[in-house]
Amino acid sequence: MQNTDRYVVGIDLGGTKIAAALFNADGEILNRERMETAGLCTAKEVVQRMEDMIHSVSKGYPISGVGLASPGMVNSRDGIVLQGTNLPEWSNVPLKQWVGEALGVDVEVVNDANAAAWGEYIRGAGAGSGNMVYVTFSTGIGAGIVLDGKLLLGANSFAGELGHNIVEPDGPACICGNNGCWEMYASGTAIREAALELMESRPSMIRELAEASGEAVSARHVFEAHKQADPVAIQVVDRTVHYMALGLANAIHTFNPDRIVIGGGVSKAGDQLFPALRAETDKLVMKAYRGTYEIVPAGLRDDVGLIGAAALFHA
């Protein structure tokens, strides 16, 4: 990671698409492109597509680096995506080496939650903080930690998997192989599951709201019903807020952040969520921590991964 006054390309590699953008030194997007990965069979083909996009968005600009955000487990020190994306044949892919050699530029690779955390820290709601914990509550829970102004990677750059901290050892099985992980209780998926379970025995407007929108029940419908004082929704939101706060309290005790930035679909609940989340977290942390941190909604939207990846060169 280095300072530069030139142009950087950020890439956000998703399960089904690649987004690329050219940034200037102020972090402004000058060009952007987005393409599906459908039809691409090998990692080499995906990387070739990525390289074409980098050429295309940076045409006419001298670029000094490419920052890549990838889902799954990433070895950031060597720039290798180890595993865990929906892309075919995507394991042990030496992205830094391939893209670096093809384009002759410096390449940094981080996992998508770390990229988002760094983006929020440099350009978003974490700006001005010294020690920040970023948590995104969506299908699962992603997190990234900035300590003393540096993205915390850890020995294998696996740091920040807060979603798999165990909060209920006797809880339901998680995809990671353990039971009762935080994301089983506080993610958008957990909100939906809790609502569906309660609705088996109790009436609720959540199902009607979902049907009216032509979608399956989701956290969004639960918050909509919560606005109208639906008892099932109130119970689900109260329970979720408790578990969100429980995980945040663990993170506060571990990292002593001055700011906690909350992203993901669940954070869009705004005033239905934040005052209660702050109060519950305050209740769960040790007394000395009260007043030492703030909990704020994320400042960046869908571009957070792209912005964070590019910002690896704008630290």
Instruction: Please report, as ranges, the residues that interact with Zn ion according to CB under 5 A.
Output: 164, 174, 176, 181
Please state whether beta strands 141-147 and 106-111 pair in parallel, antiparallel, or not at all (unpaired): unpaired
Closer Cβ to Zn ion, 117 or 184, answer by number: 184
Shortest reach from residue 251's CB to Zn ion, in Å: 16
Nearer to Zn ion, 171 or 299 (CB): 171
Q: Which is nearer to Zn ion, 66 or 190 (CB)?
A: 190
Q: Rounded to whole angstroms, what are the CA distances from 48 to 5, 54, 91, 294?
A: 27, 10, 16, 43
CB 188 to Zn ion: min, Å: 15
Phi, psi of 137 (to 5 degrees): -105, 105
| CA distances from residue 169 to 77, 180, 182, 191, 209 in whole angstroms, order as listed | 33, 5, 10, 19, 34
Q: How far is the CB of 176 from Zn ion (least distance, A)?
A: 3
Q: Looking at residue 255, what DSSP letter applies?
A: H
CB atoms within 10 A of CB 177: 8
**Closer CB to Zn ion, residue 55 or residue 164?**
164
3-state helix, strand, coil in the chain (%, to 5): 40, 25, 35
Question: Which residue matches tokens 């990965």?
Answer: 37
Measured from the CB atom, is 166 or 205 closer to Zn ion?
Answer: 166
Strands 106-111 and 29-36: unpaired
Judged by CB, which is closer to Zn ion: 21, or 141?
141
Q: How far apart are the C-alpha atoms of 272 and 223, rounded to whole Å?
A: 8
Burial level of 289, CB count in 10 A (0-12/13-18/19+)? Answer: middle
